Chain A
Amino acid sequence: MTDGIRVAALDDVPEGEGIAIDKAIIGTEDNVALLRDTDGGLWALNDTCTHEDASLADGWVEDGYVECPLHSSKFCLKNGEVQGLPATRDTCPHRVEVRDGEVYLFPNQTP
């Protein structure tokens, strides 16, 4: 197992918001949304909403969920499970680790 890929500084991700990490940098199928919950927890999900093509990094992060900016489907930050139409498919979670204020991503590993 590798040490993960450093993708951002923790301070780059404001509480309640997200940033998108380009798939070209991390070699994933989709961009990855790094999302910071309102309790400070940091999570990573595939960035593209499974309904249409909104970026979940632009979504509203609160209480363990990210709410899609287009039609408000909610995805669980921990496991990518969708809660609420119009999206019907879960999204893929990725493991992240914060070490010394730096964020490391483990693409396609479950958190």
Chain B
Amino acid sequence: MNVVIVGGGIAGVSTAAALRAGGFDGDLTLVDAGEFPYDRPPLSKDYLTGAKDLGRIALQPPQWYDEQAVRLINRTRVTGLRPGGVELQDGTLLPADRVVLATGGGAARPPIPGCERAHVLRTAEDADRLRAVLRPGARVLVVGAGLIGAEVASSAVDLGCEVVLADPVARPLAAAVGAELAAWLHERHAVRGITTVQAGVESFEDGAVLAGGREEFDAVVLGVGMVPETALAEAAGLRVDRRIVVNTGQVTSNPAILAVGDSARSRDGHWEAAQHDGARAAATILGAPPPPPAAPWFWTDRHGRHVEAVGHMAQADRTVLRGSFADPAFSVFGLRDGLVVAAAAVDDPNAVRAARRMIDRRIPADPARLGDPAVNLRTLLRP
């Protein structure tokens, strides 16, 4: 069997790795538009600050592709899905019995005048362009204080920039980490000297119009979300509803085509969700049982603090704080009907690892013990 994976982000590379790990011995080709498959989370962190170069953020070392017999076609776009294969930009037709779309997405640009001149951050080239202007003393406006905007703001301060961070929402990320922790996280910006403005931007012409006043900036960065890359799927007549519609085995409306990662998921997902999609797609192709479902998880780093969240905080009907917001490390658990449904932590990653197991294994938790930092969370996992 011939499998072609379109897109070498974490979803595409994970699909390839899971296929080989599962014993797939057919032809396996990975086509990617970029230099080589690299990891995106560092683009707003160590790559943006210059602490890591592109080679250091490769998803796999170069020899991996040979070792795993994965044919890597880089710097090449797939331009169309054809019966029996995919078409490359130079017109070559690659035969494929199964195609996996792992095309990710692009950074969103809202329809605001002058928006096309703002920086966005999705590729290494985007990060290179942005890094060139993040010089000490540069005045930078970051629009959107969600995950990427907050990380860019933090990295820009690290680089000595003067940063203004604008978002119309008072407590960005509240749905993911809960209102209290979201407020605390947002306040960290001001502590680092960032000016936070609760407003949207009305125009980017001649500076930026923010909350009625016009201001000059050396750079404007948009961190306002992601637009799934669905052009190939749409042109091939697959069902697309903002993202490529897939079933639980990642199969699209055409049984020969699967889709994984940011271009496919129904909910806003992150790095690990894309990896899990890849494992599920591989299981489908191999006819193997799918890996068990797992609560969604993400991490983010800002102002020297490592933040993680698991599950769905918005589903919680009560929260339990473990430690205090003044502690070097603390966590918040979200419960519903006596079960842990979510957790978020600052520099306390093992609280999230414990919570993740409580969620996935549906282990009931005693709120008093959850909230007591003296209780080892591992003991709560034991029957």
List A residues at the B interface (Cβ < 8 Å): 14-17, 52, 58-60, 67, 69-72, 84-86, 88-89
**Separation of A58 and B354 alpha carbons in the complex (Å):** 13
Shortest beta-carbon contacts, A-B, top 8 = A69-B349, A60-B353, A16-B378, A60-B350, A88-B60, A88-B61, A86-B39, A69-B350
Closest to B347 in A: A69
**Separation of A15 and B382 alpha carbons in the complex (Å):** 12
Interface centre among A17, A84, A86 (most CB of B within 10 A): A86
In the complex, per-residue mask of B1-20: 1 if CB is within 8 Å of any chain A CB, else 0: 00000000010011001000
List B residues at the A interface (Cβ < 8 Å): 10, 13-14, 17, 39, 46, 58-61, 64, 272, 275, 297, 299, 306, 349-350, 353-354, 376, 378
Main secondary structure of the interface of B (DSSP, over half): helix
Residue contact A88 to B64, C-beta cutoff 8 Å: yes
Give chain B residues whose Cβ lies under 8 Å from the Cβ of A59.
350
Contact partner, A85, options B14, B350, B376, Cβ 8 Å: B14
Contact partner, A71, options B14, B46, B60, B299, Cβ 8 Å: B299
Closest to A59 in B: B350
Give chain A residues whose Cβ lies under 8 Å from the Cβ of B299.
70-71
Minimum Cβ distance to chain A for residue B76 (Å): 23
Give chain B residues whose Cβ lies under 8 Å from the Cβ of A60.
350, 353-354
Closest to A16 in B: B378
Give chain B residues whose Cβ lies under 8 Å from the Cβ of A86.
39, 59
Interface centre among A14, A58, A85 (most CB of B within 10 A): A85
Residue contact A72 to B297, C-beta cutoff 8 Å: yes
